[in-house]
Amino acid sequence: MNLKPVASDRLPELLRLMPKAELHIHIEGSLEPELIFALAKRNGVALPYANVEALRSAYAFTNLQSFLDIYYAGASVLLTEQDFYDMARAYFLKAAADHVVHAELFFDPQTHTARGVGMETVVKGLHRACVDAQELGISAALIMCFLRHLSEEEAFETLEQALPYRDLIIGVGLDSGEVGNPPEKFARVFARCRELGLHLVAHAGEEGPPEYIWTALDLLKVERIDHGVQAAKDSALMQRLAKDRVALTVCPLSNLKLCVFPDLAQHNLRQLLDAGLAATVNSDDPAYFGGYMNDNFTQTFAATGMDAQHAYTLARNSFEAGFTSEAEKRSQIEGLDACFESFR
């Protein structure tokens, strides 16, 4: 598409208006402190924080693990199907306001089944919110993540529990503490998921080394890499990712808050795009990292000096990388083109 030049002071408006897909959002990471306290009250769950302000002031992270400890504690208020629905509904309302038209939601069943909350409760609540998101103009789907700090056996048990809901899940992912938990531990579970026709993704190269990206691709056979920013340390890997158009679901504000980059100006999103990689922008855990989709776009563009061409490429990449049909992709990209054509 032939892009008209866009004045830099108009770029934030274009970034906010353009239709986009979100491919890396942990739905438990969209639980705002206010909702955590409301659900704690509704369910009679005690929290180790006096109030919303005290909880929010604990959101000063130094690395991934320091975040995960608080994130798993926050999820402890989720008990009923309605809780999961309400959490996802709140996310979809924010996403719609940010002109997200397609979203693929990660969820962590093991965080809930370990507390005695059934797989059925989790999946049905989230699925109902995905169905209702259509009225907001959002197509949505669920990706079930295995916690990589747990065992292969526990991942297989989780997969078994999910089989009755196979049709409500489009794929599986791998998340939680990366360093010391390389992808190969889950090669057999992922092979089984592949036989079941599930799409495959994995977090790799967030804090962990480029080797974890290689093994996610070659052993797990994933179709997208979540984060992947450490790929820039390995030029052969950069060439592989560019050649195969492997999408990276990059999360700039997450990387900033978890100290992967010292500031946004030093984030390598622009470098990844300029090297021809199919990078996308995503929010990861927006309630914890201080921003939803449009915050990620506007803050990262302001810090790195990216332009309207980068904006178009990022949104287009997000549609091309979605687990959607060719017809859906075509229609999403037509919507994107129409937005850029009419913007003045």
Catalytic residue status for 206 = yes
Helical pair 119-133 and 152-162, crossing angle rounded to 10 deg: 60
284 binds ligand HPA, rule: CB under 6 A: yes
Distance from the first to the final alpha carbon of the chain: 16
Which residue is at the shortest CB distance from ligand HPA? Answer: 175
Q: Do the beta carbons of residue 114 and residue 123 sit within 8 Å?
A: no
Which residue is at the shortest CB distance from Zn ion? Answer: 284
Q: Which of 323, 318, 254 minimizes the C-alpha distance to 290?
A: 254
Q: Which helix (H) or strand (E) holds 337?
A: helix 326-342
206 binds ligand HPA, rule: CB under 6 A: yes
257 binds ligand HPA, rule: CB under 6 A: no
224 binds ligand HPA, rule: CB under 6 A: no
22 binds ligand HPA, rule: CB under 6 A: no
- Pick the catalytic residue from 32, 178, 206, 207: 206
- φ, ψ dihedrals at 38, nearest 5°: -65, -45
Q: Which of 326, 298, 217, 258 minimizes the C-alpha distance to 61?
A: 258
Q: Which of 105, 170, 175, 193 binds ligand HPA (CB under 6 A)?
A: 175
283 binds ligand HPA, rule: CB under 6 A: no
Decide whether 81 or 285 has the Cβ nearer to Zn ion: 285
- Token pair listed for 291: 């921003």
DSSP tag of 3: P
* CA-only gyration radius of the chain, Å: 19
29 binds ligand HPA, rule: CB under 6 A: yes
The minimum distance between CB 202 and Zn ion, in angstroms, equals 10
Sign of CA dihedral 55, 262, 104, 19: positive
Decide whether 27 or 308 has the Cβ nearer to ligand HPA: 27
Which SS3 state, helix, strand or coil, does residue 62 take?
A: coil
Decide whether 29 or 322 has the Cβ nearer to ligand HPA: 29
176 binds ligand HPA, rule: CB under 6 A: yes
Q: Which of 285, 296, 308, 319 binds ligand HPA (CB under 6 A)?
A: 285
Instruction: Give the largest Cα separation in the chain, rounded.
Output: 57
Distances (CA, A) of 116 to 46, 112, 174: 17, 7, 21
The minimum distance between CB 256 and ligand HPA, in angstroms, equals 12
From the list Zn ion, ligand HPA, none, partner contacted by residue 86 (C-beta under 5 to 8 A by kind): none
Q: Do the beta carbons of residue 106 and residue 25 sit within 8 Å?
A: yes
Decide whether 133 or 174 has the Cβ nearer to Zn ion: 174
Binding interface with Zn ion (CB under 5 A): 284
Decide whether 6 or 103 has the Cβ nearer to ligand HPA: 103
- List the catalytic residues: 206
Q: Binding residues for ligand HPA, per CB under 6 A?
A: 26, 29, 64, 71, 175-176, 203, 206, 254, 284-285
